[in-house]
Structure 1
Amino acid sequence: MDKFTTITGIAAPMPLVNIDTDMIIPKQFLKTIKRSGLGKNLFDEMRYTPEGEEIPDFVLNKPAYRAAQIIVAGDNFGCGSSREHAPWALLDFGIRCVISTSFADIFFNNCFKNGILPIRLPADQVEYLMADAEKGANARITVDLESQTVTASDGRSFPFEVDAFKRHCLLNGLDDIGLTMENAGAIDSFENRLAVTRPWA
């Protein structure tokens, strides 16, 4: 998993509330167990017509937001089913951070496990960042996980809270496997000792 320290990037404004996981990645794309390749189907039913043509008015189809790394969203982002494909699709598209007033718990935790930083902020601050994001590609937002701040393009900064353990994992690029491998030495020692004391095991 890639480390997350600081990103300065384009933020796509998505003021919709209750953006659920089926909107993020529709059910017909859940057949894969690979984490790559889902970005092209992110928000598929909102980005494309039934014939596969891009819908020009959708934010991620607009030239200013095609390289967005941040989404500023309405309340309750990631609600619905618990599919982990949702953060996979966001990450594969290039999204590293989602800012909202609230998230569904399972989606929120899945983001951290996949290298995405979900940030909860009060409604007035989200509204400010939403308006900033609507300025387009020249209005870049900076998210600094080390200092736990979000800075708008005009320099106004907002602090955010994040669980210390989840912060440690993102800063060091540690998913569940990475956390296990931090104890590789102790695991090897245990297995070597077990081979001697219980060779039948």
Structure 2
Amino acid sequence: MDKFDTLTGIAAPLPLINVDTDMIIPKQFLKTIKRSGLGVNLFFEMRYDDDGNELPDFVLNKPQYRDAEILVAGDNFGCGSSREHAPWAIKDFGIRCVIAPSFADIFYNNCFKNGILPIALPQDKVDVLMKDAEKGANARMTVDLEAQTVTTSDGEVISFEIDSFQKHCLMNGLDDIGLTMEKAAAIDSFEKAAAQSRPWV
């Protein structure tokens, strides 16, 4: 999993509440078990018309936001079903950080397991960031995970809280498998001792 430390990039504004996982990645794209290739289908029903043509008014189709790495969204982001394809699609598009007043719990935790930083902030702080994101490609935000701050294009610094364990995992690129592999030496030692003490197993 990719490490996350400091990110400076374009922030796309998505001022919608209750964006569920079916809106993020519709059910017809859940057949794959690959984490790559889903970015083109992110927000599919909002990005494309019935003929597959891009809808120019959708934020991620606008030229200034095509390379967005930060998404500023409304309350209760990632609600609905627990599909892990939702963070896969977000990450594959190139977004590494999602900022919102609140997140659905399962989506929130899935983000950390896939190298995405979800930041929950009070509505008034999200409003500041939303307004900054609306300035377009020239307004770049900086997210510093170590310092736990988001800095607007105008230099305003907003602090955020994060669980220390999740912060450690994200900064070190550790998903569940990575956490297990950190204990590889202890696991090998246990298995060797177990084999010697119980050779019949």
Output the TM-score relative to the length of structure 2. 0.99
Moved more, 108-117 or 191-200: 191-200
Q: How does 1:20-31 map to 2 (within 5 A)?
A: 20-31=20-31
Gaps of 5+ in 1: none
TM-superposed deviation, 1:89: 0.3
Code of the residue aligned with 2:193 in structure 1: it is R
Equivalent residue for 1:8?
8
Equivalent residue for 2:103?
103
Equivalent residue for 1:48?
48
State the alpha-carbon separation in 2 of the partners of residues 98 and 157 from structure 1.
Answer: 17
State the alpha-carbon separation in 1 of the partners of residues 35 and 88 from structure 2.
Answer: 5
Equivalent residue for 2:62?
62
State the alpha-carbon separation in 1 of the partners of residues 84 and 75 from structure 2.
Answer: 20
Equivalent residue for 1:187?
187
Equivalent residue for 1:154?
154
- Length, aligned pairs only: 201
Equivalent residue for 1:87?
87
- SS of alignment partner, residue 60 of structure 1: helix
Equivalent residue for 1:32?
32
Equivalent residue for 1:170?
170
Code of the residue aligned with 1:38 in structure 2: it is L
TM-superposed deviation, 1:199: 2.0
TM-superposed deviation, 1:167: 0.2
Identity of aligned residues (%): 77
State the alpha-carbon separation in 2 of the partners of residues 164 and 189 from structure 1.
Answer: 29
The C-alpha deviation readout for 1:130-150, integer Å capped at 9, x for no partner, is 000000000000000000000
Equivalent residue for 1:117?
117
TM-superposed deviation, 1:200: 2.5
TM-superposed deviation, 1:197: 1.4
Gaps of 5+ in 2: none
- SS of alignment partner, residue 2 of structure 1: coil
TM-superposed deviation, 1:182: 0.3
